[in-house]
Structure 1
Amino acid sequence: MENTGPAVIGLNTYNRHLIGQPKGPSQLGPQSVSSQPGKEPMGTQKPANASQEGPGIRFGDDWKKSLLLPAKDNRVKTSDVTATKGNEFEDYCLKRELLMGIYEMGWEKPSPIQEESIPIALSGRDILARAKNGTGKSGAYLIPLLERIDRKKDHIQGISLQNVLHKMYLLSPTPFFFYCTIYLCLPAAIVIVPTRELALQVSQISIQISKHLGGVKVMATTGGTNLRDDIMRLDEEVHVVIATPGRILDLIKKGIAKVNKVQMMVMDEADKLLSQDFVVIIEDIISFLSKNRQILLYSATFPISVQKFMAKHLQKPYEINLMEELTLKGITQYYAYVTERQKVHCLNTLFSRLQINQSIIFCNSTQRVELLAKKITQLGCSCFYIHAKMMQEYRNRVFHDFRNGLCRNLVCTDLFTRGIDIQAVNVVINFDFPKNAETYLHRIGRSGRFGHLGLAINLITAEDRFNLKTTEDQLMTDIKPIPGSIDKSLYVAEFHSVNSDCEAEASHPGGGSEAH
């Protein structure tokens, strides 16, 4: 379980870039109207020669022409993201400023999970959604969440206590944390995720698509950050808090975050959040919420723990199930039968023969992660490593640099199996085969994001044969022996044959993949 040390809301110095720039008064409610002086509510039409609306936007103009769109992604995509009903984001009557952020993210059309989820979430109904990794679940809940922000309502009290708290800190550092338990923040929406890296990723997406929504404030809070640094920065309203379970509960119990007016709670990777590691914490958080809250649950797998939670806490939820099959489409799976001593040599052979854009290599323990990373470096290959026992600041740096393409290979534990979306990853290698099918499903889902093609290779020892067979049976999939050569069109973007049907379908959220 994560560190649930001193409470913090906000981000540490390294993550300051995720907070976003405050643009004015802001609040959250069911619907939104502009709070800027002289600005008409959304939906009110102005003549083409009216005063300018937003940066370079005039009502009546073709506002899409002014958007800074990423390069179109022409990579081939699988049907789990292209088999849509033909809806457009504009069909949901979203605020224009929100649409601008959506399109500038490269999200041209809603994916199937977004088509199913957005209108239901906007109606205020609870949702239980099951969809594959990498099919747009983050957008499915962030878009309706941000759409419902009302910047005029005054029930969020992200008050300007910075000067008062600063004086407290200077005059009496020792009892500072005691004084900080006064009322500080009333977020109207919280998103709970199981890992710090996923919290930062979701925060970044939220800030990017809400950048034209003046005054909307998104804040990430996770274990391992410093309370004194972050509490002094809390001088603006906070509309959306994205947090790990232990940290948000700590904030609530210390009185720093008041959640009695929270309208929406999202649980991403709900199967992990309702596992034995977190379920008691989640139940405790729920007890502080209003009975009229809306709860949205998203995950790729829904074990019995999720069904029990749904029956207890969700009110007539709308159920979405887009899982035609458990394993991900577009991911080709192979295994290589080796001894333990042959694994590093086999890995080196894969490095030399595969065309890897970026790869993630999984081990079953933190010690093996560090040892393997050292071996890979000795082989002359670029390599980062990350695991849960590392300092948070270093984890943030590794995650940031790998996502930006500064290194080709990342060795990690199952810390990186949940929701992490790095579009450039086209190869996943299980150096150690996972102990259960659910972990295997989440591991290989780090490649082939948003319907793109990917490759998963498993190094299997004699002890893994039973787990391999069990995984195949439970996931109803076929993991084949690795051939002498692997067709590059199975996992390399430039070898994909792109037909007109694929180009006409929804493109992936993040723009093109990062070149390495």
Structure 2
Amino acid sequence: MTATPSTAPGIAPAAGASTDFGTLPLPPATLENLQRLGYTAMTPIQAATLPLTLAGHDLIAQAKTGSGKTAAFALALLANLNPRRFAVQSLVLCPTRELADQVTQELRRLARAEDHIKILTLCGGSTMRPQLASLEHGAHIVVGTPGRILDHLERGSLDLQALNTLVLDEADRMLDMGFFDDIATVAKQCPAQRQTLLFSATYPEGIAKLSARFLREPKEVKLLSTHAAGKIRQRFVEVAEDQRLHAVSMLLNHYRPVSTIAFCNTKQQCRDLVEVLRAQGFAALELHGDLDQRDRDQVLVRFANRSCSVLVATDIAARGLDIAQLEAVINVDITPDPATHTHRIGRTGRIDEAGWAFSLASLDEMGRVGQLETALGFTTEWEPLAALADADPAHPLRPPMRTLQIVGGRKEKIRPGDVLGALTKDLGYAAAQVGKINVNEFSTYVAVEAGIAAEALQRLSAGKIKGRSVKVRLLGD
């Protein structure tokens, strides 16, 4: 079917469009919850899409990570939900487990206005048994990756007959990963009378194919955007091949970003760069396909809570990551694919934030730089390598936080408030000294200021959480 644009492709909604959540047909309890969560005004993608989705239209929307797209579809699917009907009414498909986890966390926050909304995450990399047990108890919303959702459908453990909303999040990345057939099979098992919402950062050919097959007269929203209103400052640095890895440390020492993702084209280059950075005193971690799920989860927790300064990653491993306040991206190599370049640098410069995007280019890569200029319509700004400050031994770049791992998580009924209370009420630390708290199935991670980490480890190990002694260890150096 042909899409019916509500907003002409490439044109943002009118400047006078309301950004007040109060103008939307949302229940008072939802509006109060949004206010408590700090949602003071709609982002452009929310203002453009929510009036359409709340009216029941199918949707194709161009939206990048960090644009507020999760709330854009979450509020729509929650509005369609009947809490008293204990059946799967909404399904969100994501390309990666990490994105699925992030979507689930945000859905849980936004669903607080209603009591007893059960949300399940079904992704590969986790054993089937706990997922099967959770499904037996029922759920209202399921968030997952196409392959694992398909596994459950084939087993008969997931029933979608009551579904009224299907969301395809980061659809372009799912297509890149070869999920078209899996998505098609899942969609066929959903009721024909449903609302389908498709969000994609780019519009490759496969998006039109998805739309034609699975959406009914969709509205289209494609915002004119250059990564958060041009807040990404791009610089290119010419390097000799043997300077490439050292140039990364020079950029870090010169600009001193608190958090940086360095993208490499290969796993081996990830390993080599992490070795170089650690030798120079940086808190650097690698993220690539060779890590097992436990190590991957710990890496992501430590980077997101600011106890790691540099995440060195391959493109595939970093798909779906949404890291708040990412100050810099470094392209250790020039990618030959303009869409990949766009995805890489789009992780910084989020809404209301500025960011740096640095790209290292050898003479052999100048052709690729020219291709990016032509395809993406920008003029390259070059920064001389010699102008960058080298390491200052007296002031090494160190992360502001450290991570404590507590043995025990959701299975032991531990909640973030339990951990915060143990650190502040019981041990007397200021709340400002405690950072992000992540409660997983079997482990809990809490970030604390680096200066109190060793002491907090000893005191928490000797204390109790929820009246029970716990094992605690300090992650990293």
Q: 1:275 & 1:315 partners in 2: Cα distance?
A: 24
Cα gap change, 1:251/1:233 in structure 2, threshold over 3 Å: closer, same or farther? closer
Count of residues in Structure 1 that have an aligned counterpart in Structure 2: 381
Structure 1 residue aligned with 2:236: 335
Deviation of the 1:104 alpha carbon: 2.8
Structure 1 residue aligned with 2:274: 373
Does 2:124 match 1:124? no
Match of 2:149 among 241, 245, 248: 248
Q: The residue matched to 1:274 in structure 2 has which SS?
A: helix
Match of 1:437 among 333, 338, 348: 338
Normalising by structure 2, report the TM-score.
0.75
Deviation of the 1:301 alpha carbon: 0.7
Structure 2 residue aligned with 1:106: 38
Deviation of the 1:352 alpha carbon: 1.4
Q: The residue matched to 1:320 in structure 2 has which SS?
A: strand
Match of 1:230 among 131, 136, 157: 131
Q: 2:119 & 2:341 partners in 1: Cα distance?
A: 32
Structure 2: which amino acid aligns with 1:448?
G
Match of 2:176 among 265, 269, 275: 275
Deviation of the 1:151 alpha carbon: 1.4
Q: The residue matched to 1:361 in structure 2 has which SS?
A: strand
Does 2:39 match 1:138? no
Q: Give per-residue Cα distances to partners, 1:74-120, cap 9 Å, x unaligned.
A: xxxxx989967233112113123322332233221111110111121
Deviation of the 1:386 alpha carbon: 1.1
1:193-208 matches, cutoff 5 A: 193-208=94-109
Structure 2: which amino acid aligns with 1:135?
S
* Structure whose residues are more often strand by fraction: 2
Structure 2 residue aligned with 1:415: 316
Does 2:293 match 1:392? yes
Normalising by structure 1, report the TM-score.
0.70
Q: 2:320 & 2:96 partners in 1: Cα distance?
A: 9
1:441-480 matches, cutoff 5 A: 441-480=342-381
Structure 2: which amino acid aligns with 1:128?
I
Q: The residue matched to 2:268 in structure 1 has which SS?
A: helix
Cα gap change, 1:360/1:267 in structure 2, threshold over 3 Å: closer, same or farther? same
Cα gap change, 1:263/1:269 in structure 2, threshold over 3 Å: closer, same or farther? same
Contact 2:258 2:306 in 1 (8 A): no
Structure 2: which amino acid aligns with 1:247?
R
Contact 1:417 1:442 in 2 (8 A): no
Cα gap change, 1:485/1:107 in structure 2, threshold over 3 Å: closer, same or farther? farther
Runs of 4+ residues deviating >4 angstroms = 79-84, 324-328
Give the stretch that moved more between structures: 320-329 or 201-210: 320-329
Q: The residue matched to 2:330 in structure 1 has which SS?
A: strand
Q: The residue matched to 1:449 in structure 2 has which SS?
A: coil
Contact 1:113 1:137 in 2 (8 A): yes
Cα gap change, 1:356/1:99 in structure 2, threshold over 3 Å: closer, same or farther? same
Match of 1:363 among 260, 264, 288: 264
Cα gap change, 1:294/1:81 in structure 2, threshold over 3 Å: closer, same or farther? closer
Q: 1:146 & 1:415 partners in 2: Cα distance?
A: 31
Match of 1:92 among 20, 24, 31: 24
Q: 1:242 & 1:231 partners in 2: Cα distance?
A: 14
Structure 2 residue aligned with 1:21: none
Structure 2: which amino acid aligns with 1:124?
G
Structure 2: which amino acid aligns with 1:382?
A
Match of 1:147 among 79, 84, 95: 79
Unpaired stretches in structure 1, ≥5 consecutive residues: 1-78, 157-186, 487-509
**Which gives a bigger RCO, structure 1 or 2 (Cα 8 Å, sep 6+)?**
1
Q: 1:427 & 1:324 partners in 2: Cα distance?
A: 19
Q: 1:350 & 1:327 partners in 2: Cα distance?
A: 23
Across the aligned residues of Structure 1 and Structure 2, the Cα RMSD in angstroms comes to 2.5
* Structure whose residues are more often helix by fraction: 2
Cα gap change, 1:281/1:351 in structure 2, threshold over 3 Å: closer, same or farther? same
Q: 1:462 & 1:264 partners in 2: Cα distance?
A: 50
